[in-house]
Chains A and B, each alone.
Chain A
Amino acid sequence: MTGLDVAFLVVALITAAAAIRTVTSTNLVHAALFLAVTLAGIAGVFLVLSADFLALVQLVVYVGAVAVLFLFGLMLTRAPIGREALDSEHRGLALGVSATLFVLLSGLIIAAFGDVRVDVVDGPRTADLGLALFRDWVLPFEVLSMLLLAALVGAIVLSRREDGESGQVEDVTPILLADDPDDPDAGDVALPAGEGAEEVDA
C-alpha cells in the first residue's frame, strides 16, 4: 500500500460519503451542497490519477458553474422540504436495483482487474491534450461547441415567458399559478395589467 493508495482512499471515502448524502439528504440545499463536495472529491480523484488539467476543468465547470446552477434551480422552484415530499414510494425498489447493480458490477470488476497493480506514470501532459484535441478531435470539438450554442439558445427559448409578458415581471408573478389544471378558479385572475403587455410586444 503506497502513499498514493492512501491518498486515493481518503479522497474516495469523502467522495462516496458525500455522494450517498446527496441522494439521501432531506434538505434540498444540503443535497446540492453535498453534490458540490462530491464533485470536488472527484476532482481530487483526478489529481491522484495525475490528470491535473481535467481536475481543474472539473473544479471550474462542475463546482463553479453546475453546482451553483443547481442551487439557483432549487431556490427558484421553492420545493417543499422533508423526506415524504422528496422521496417517492419507490425507495425500496430503488435500493434493490442500485444495490444489485453495485454488487454485480463490483464483482465483475474485482474478477477482471482484482490483481492488476500499476505504477502511476505521468499521464498525458496538458500540451498533449491540446494537440490531440485540435489535431485528432477537431470535428467532435466543433460539434460540441455547436451543441453548447444550441443548448444556450434552447434554454433561453424554453424559459422565456409567452409573447409580450417579458417586461411585466411584477404583474405576472401573482398569476404564475393561473393555468394550474387543479384549480379551476385560478384562470379568472389572469392579466390585470393588459395595457402594459401590448407595449412591450410592440
Chain B
Amino acid sequence: MSLVGPLLLATLLFSVGVYGIIARRNAVLVLISVELMLNAVNINLVAFQNLLFPAEAAASGQLFALFIIGVAAAEVGVGLAIVFNLFRNRASVDVDRVDAMRW
C-alpha cells in the first residue's frame, strides 16, 4: 500500500489540532485538540515502523507510540485537574480570559 496515505492523514489530524488549539475557548476543548496532535504523531511513528522499516530498530516506532499514549494519559489527568481548579476559582474555563499571572 502507499506510504503517503497514513502520512497525509497524520498531517490532517495535526493541522486540525492546531486549528482547535488556536480557535477554541473552552479549556477542555483545547486539551482535546492536543490529543488529536499527539495521535497524529502516533500514526506517523507506526506508519514508518511498519511500512518502511518492518524488521529493524527493535520495534522502536511502536514502542515510542506506546510511550506517547502513556504520557498523553498523564497529561490529560493533570490538565483536567488544572482546568477543574480554574473552574473552581473563576467559575469559567475560558482560556481567553485567563491572562492574569497573579491577582
A140 and chain B: residue at smallest CB distance: B67
B77 engages A151 (CB within 8 Å): yes
Report A110-139 residues with CB < 8 Å from chain B CB.
110, 113-114, 116-118, 120-124, 128-129, 132-133, 136-137
Measured between beta carbons, the chain A residues less than 8 angstroms from B62 are 51, 53-54, 123-124, 129
Q: Is the interface of B mostly helix, strand, loop or mixed?
A: helix
A interface bracket (residues with beta carbon within 8 Å of B): 35 or more
B interface bracket (residues with beta carbon within 8 Å of A): 35 or more
B74 engages A105 (CB within 8 Å): no
Report B4-62 residues with CB < 8 Å from chain A CB.
4-9, 11-29, 31-33, 35-36, 39, 42-43, 46-47, 49-52, 54-55, 58-60, 62
A19 in the interface, Cβ–Cβ < 8 Å? yes
- Interchain nearest-CB distance for B3 vs A (Å): 4
Residues of B within 8 A of A (CB): 1-9, 11-29, 31-33, 35-36, 39, 42-43, 46-47, 49-52, 54-55, 58-60, 62-63, 65-67, 69-78, 80-85, 87-91, 93, 96, 103
